[in-house]
Amino acid sequence: MRIVFLGPPGAGKGTQAQRLRDYLGITHLSTGDMLREAHQAGTELGNQAASYFHLGKLVPDQVVVGIVSERLAQADCVNGCLFDGFPRTVAQARVLDAMLAEQGMPLELVVALDIPHEVVFSRLASRGRPDDAVATVRERLEQYHSLTEPLADYYQRQGILRRVDGTGSPEAVFERIKRAVELAKQPSG
Ligand code: AMP
């Protein structure tokens, strides 16, 4: 299956994506992880990206699309892929659709994790990542609201969006995600 995880920073995308990766045995593709790894490795792309993510801003589409298209060309993506933190703009979503169409493997499901703002803030505050400082978190939520949230409509129109309540224990959230996945596997969608 090809699945996108959508949700604000702190919604639990990473945790849930890892669980779902193990459950379905598919590749987990996190652009945030890839950008942080590139930065730690000191590559030019990594340093360029860091100047954005340290401020809580989205990295430019062409940079992110470049690393995703390289990653998608690798063999382990053929059996299925879980996109976590990508796409984050409608432009990225269009490119992803085109790349997957070329491979004859369109997206089957978009899981949108719904979570109230207060919960997001307290979760991020306890996480302690360098880009989790209050001002940066605010900027990331702002970017999410203006650039990423419109993706819900984009995928709703494609009929593949499933909203999942992201509150409660990680186990409870995962049970809801599994239900959405099982529904999507059925021929009627
Ligand atoms: P994440 O770990 O998904 O929260 O991503 C951390 C940071 O990396 C984000 O705040 C962005 O600056 C950057 N980033 C990750 N994925 C993308 C993407 N698809 N488009 C643009 N920027 C991204």
Ligand 1 pocket residue status of 35, Cβ below 6 Å: yes
Question: How does residue 188 score in pLDDT terms, banded at 50, 70 and 90?
Answer: low
**Does the CB atom of residue 71 touch ligand 1 within 6 A?**
no
Domains of the chain: 2-29+80-185 (3.40.50.300)
Predicted TM-score (pTM) above 0.85: yes
Q: Encode pLDDT of 66-77 as tens digits.
A: 999 999 999 898
Q: How far is CA 60 from CA 65, 146, 154, 182, in A?
A: 9, 15, 20, 34
Ligand 1, atom 19, lies closest to the CA of: 86
Report the C-alpha gap between 184 and 50 in whole angstroms: 36
Q: How far apart are CA 56 and CA 129, in angstroms?
A: 12
By the 8 A CB rule, do 167 and 16 touch?
no
Cα of 85 vs centre of ligand 1, distance in Å, is 6
SS3 label, residue 48: helix
pLDDT tens for 78-132 read 889 999 999 999 999 999 999 999 989 999 999 999 999 888 888 887 887 878 8
Closest CA to 33 of 59, 7, 55: 59
Q: What is the dihedral of CA 163, 110, 83, 48, to 10 degrees?
A: -80
Ligand 1 pocket mutation, candidates 34, 55, 82, 88, criterion most atoms within 8 A of CB = 88
Please check the confidence at residue 149 and state whether its pLDDT lies above 70. Answer: yes
In this model, does residue 160 exceed pLDDT 90? Answer: yes
CA distance linking residue 36 with residue 114, whole number of Å: 25
Q: Is the CB of 59 under 6 A from ligand 1?
A: yes
